[in-house]
Amino acid sequence: VQQVADYFISDLQSCLDACPAGHRTHQNMKVTAGLIWAYALDSDLVLKDVTKNLYIGRGASVQREPLTEAEVEVIRAAIPSEPYAEYVYALCYLGFRPGEFLALKKSDYHEEGGVAYLVGGSKTEAGRGRRVPVPACIADIIARRLNTDGTEYLFPMRAFSRSGEFRGYKVMSDEYFRSYVFKPLMSRLGIASGKVPYSARHTYADKLKSIDGSDRAKAALMGHTDYAFTQRRYQST
């Protein structure tokens, strides 16, 4: 029997996305999941309530497709003009869940034997503290983030006053990233409106198919114990 702690937010989100019922039913599903995780928290069965980050949309189902190579290129080309484009581009090449990505700190960056990698992740034992190599295509982005003063986080939120004056950095939440960074950016770049931050994780999973390495190693990069699960839930056919 599968335990509550074995379920990822992606499992719960997939259930919501696959449900053909209306918005109110999706709301009820999220509330029910919240009650289950609240009990699990009180019973020390889980570390945190993942249901808070479930997205039920505004009456429409969420598309769970990866960002295509062409769309990723559009995002890369927008980096000089779009402040957060480099965040989304880096996410496509690191494979972290959005919350894991936003929680990364400068101290999570390491170099060993000429290889740069980030240590991060949460959720399950397989997902926590995993080493994810930094590909050459985003090395300059990571270097730029490491050299940004005023924050310990690699991908923080820029804070401004009402008059537009820059006030510094603070931690960016999943909700802010999804609603005020990712979605508007996709709209401005002409990318399918149904794409969500998790689409970048699916893109990363698709990229794993073309690299050398064992199934076990590829699963570990995703924070999974079973590569078959990665293939079934994340990779395009």
Predicted pLDDT at 123? 55
Q: Tell me the pLDDT tens digit for each residue of 192-237.
A: 777 889 888 888 888 887 676 676 766 767 775 554 545 544 555 5
HEC string for the chain: CCCHHHCCHHHHHHHHHHCCCCHHHHHHHHHHHHHHHHHHHHCCCCCCCHHHHCCCCCCCCCCCCCCCHHHHHHHHHCCCCCCCHHHHHHHHCCCCCHHHHHCCEHHHEEEECCEEEEEECCCCCCCCCEEEECCHHHHHHHHHHHCCCCCCECCCEEEECCCCCEEEEECCCHHHHHHHHHHHHHHHCCCCCCCCCHHHHHHHHHHHCCCCCCHHHHHHHHCCCCHHHHHHHCCCC
State the pLDDT at residue 77. 97
- pTM of the entire structure? 0.67
pLDDT at 188 over 90: yes
pLDDT at site 140: 96
